[in-house]
């Protein structure tokens, strides 16, 4: 036989032998979440969504079996970092994912860069998170993205004087800045208050807010904390004082909204997801989620669901390859999520999505954030302002 033919046959054999071996190799995903501690509701929501995604979409992508390894960081950045390291080095994961809060995502980002392992941020929402590593892809949102439409709505609705009250760290500061910039440009006046992230006592800040006699208080607290805020808002009598409450959707999060009671009725907020979103995709999602998990999905669940969607689409495109190829494959991807149409921005790796204006209403005996307005295809305004 011609030598070249022998060589080609040998190469063909080698390729054929290599393929099934790769195909059998499990693609592991390291899912790092706060399953315990003050932000455990975020972990619980995302875990349930990831499980549901695999139950409904199967456990293979790009010809590889996808295995999710769940780790609990308790909401502590040092632990997130150690777990990310172990998952990358020992388990040889194709991607790390999760990241319930900004400091946790920022702790893992340098490891993603070093190891060239994609990090799918399903929750953390400070604008800078995607800039911490070229391997970060975000499927949640940014605070600036959802806050700008709130400030615009407030100005349009005749609100003139606002006290902002935010948790004192990355996303809260982004929310405060975005609200203040847009609202003052529209002619309003703003006073800024910040409350500690850990063990927050809102009472003294609510007293100061009441003393300032604003038309409205604008609030950001991270997911899960809104119930505590609402309780103190009522205890201080602010719900009866003629001061309106406006917020990002994090405060009236679907996980806790139904337990807030009548005080939450009428609260206007802006966000990228409401469990009441009126679409066929969302109805199917909420129904399946409630059935499987036993509780209502919130925006964290949708961040987790779409994180899996991004990973599966990416793995399909690379035929199971991770690393830079996987990040590149995810960039620019578009799909219909329970939240609506979603695109991963090819330049920033952030989510481009609709932001909705919603009002808390009682329907069929439950409280819901009912959407009544929307801005389509909103980019992260912080990065949009920096773009050339």
Q: How far is the CB of 80 from ligand VNL (least distance, A)?
A: 12
Residues 128, 132, 135, CA angle at the centre, nearest 5°?
120
**To which residue do tokens 């760290």 refer?**
169
Q: Using the rule CB under 6 A, give the single segment among 18-26, 121-129, 275-283, 361-369 that binds ligand VNL.
A: 121-129
- Taking the C-alpha atoms of residue 364 and residue 383, their distance in angstroms, rounded to an integer, is 41
Phi/psi at 149 (nearest 5 deg)? -60, -25
Q: Which of 45, 128, 130, 114 is nearest to 81 (CA)?
A: 114
Q: How far is the CB of 304 from ligand VNL (least distance, A)?
A: 13
Residue 98 binds to ligand VNL (criterion: CB under 6 A): no
Q: What sign results for the dihedral spanned by CA atoms 380, 384, 386, 388? A: positive
Residue 101 binds to ligand VNL (criterion: CB under 6 A): yes
- Taking the C-alpha atoms of residue 80 and residue 78, their distance in angstroms, rounded to an integer, is 5
Q: Where are the beta strands (DSSP E) in 4-129?
A: 27-33, 60-61, 64-72, 95-98, 119-121
Q: How far is the CB of 337 from ligand VNL (least distance, A)?
A: 17
Q: How far is the CB of 167 from ligand VNL (least distance, A)?
A: 8
123 or 286, CB closer to ligand VNL?
A: 123
Beta-carbon contacts of residue 50 (< 8 Å; ≥ 6 apart): 31, 68, 304, 305, 307, 308
Q: Using the rule CB under 6 A, give the single segment among 124-132, 153-161, 267-275, 289-297 that binds ligand VNL.
A: 124-132
- Binding residue (CB under 6 A) for ligand VNL from 98, 188, 222, 322: 222
- Binding residue (CB under 6 A) for ligand VNL from 45, 126, 147, 348: 126
| Residues from 235 through 264 that contact ligand VNL (CB under 6 A) | 250
- Binding residue (CB under 6 A) for ligand VNL from 102, 130, 282, 298: 102
Find the length of the chain. Answer: 388
Q: How far is the CB of 146 from ligand VNL (least distance, A)?
A: 9
Which residues of this chain interact with ligand VNL, rule CB under 6 A? 39, 42, 100-102, 123-126, 170-171, 222-223, 250
């Amino acid at each position: 036989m011609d030598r070249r033919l022998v060589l080609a046959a040998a190469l063909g054999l080698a390729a054929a032998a290599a393929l099934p071996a790769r195909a059998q190799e499990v693609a592991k995903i390291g899912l790092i979440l706060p399953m315990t501690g003050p932000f455990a509701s975020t972990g619980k929501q995302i875990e349930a969504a990831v499980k549901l995604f695999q139950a409904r979409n199967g456990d293979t992508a790009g010809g590889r079996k996808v295995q999710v390894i769940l780790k609990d960081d308790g909401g502590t950045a040092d632990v997130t970092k150690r777990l990310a390291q172990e998952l990358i080095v020992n388990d040889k994961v194709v991607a790390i994912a999760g990241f319930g809060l900004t400091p946790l995502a920022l702790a893992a980002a340098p490891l993603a860069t070093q190891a060239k392992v994609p990090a799918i941020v399903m929750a953390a929402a400070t604008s800078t998170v995607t800039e911490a590593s070229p391997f970060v892809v975000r499927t949640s949102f940014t605070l600036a993205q959802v806050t700008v439409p709130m400030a615009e709505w407030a100005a349009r609705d005749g609100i003139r004087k606002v006290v902002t009250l935010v948790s004192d760290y990355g996303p809260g500061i982004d929310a405060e800045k975005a609200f203040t910039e847009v609202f003052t440009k529209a002619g309003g006046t703003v006073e800024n208050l910040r409350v500690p992230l850990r063990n927050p006592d809102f009472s003294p800040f609510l007293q100061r807010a009441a003393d300032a006699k604003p038309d409205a208080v604008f609030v950001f607290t991270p997911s899960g904390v809104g119930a505590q805020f609402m309780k103190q808002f009522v205890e201080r009598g602010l719900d009866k004082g003629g001061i309106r409450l406006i917020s990002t959707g994090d405060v009236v999060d679907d996980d806790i909204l139904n337990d807030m009671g009548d005080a939450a009725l009428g609260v206007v907020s802006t966000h990228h997801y409401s469990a009441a979103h009126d679409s066929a995709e969302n109805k199917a999602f909420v129904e399946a989620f409630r059935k499987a998990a036993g509780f209502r999905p919130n925006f964290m669940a949708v961040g987790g669901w779409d994180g899996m969607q991004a990973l599966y689409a990416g793995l399909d495109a690379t035929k199971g390859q991770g690393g830079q190829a996987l990040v590149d494959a995810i960039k620019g991807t578009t799909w219909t999520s329970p939240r609506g149409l979603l695109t991963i921005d090819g330049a920033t790796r952030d989510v481009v999505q609709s932001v909705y204006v919603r009002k808390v209403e009682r329907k069929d005996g439950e409280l819901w954030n009912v959407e009544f307005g929307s801005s389509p295809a909103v980019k992260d305004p912080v990065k949009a302002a920096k773009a050339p």
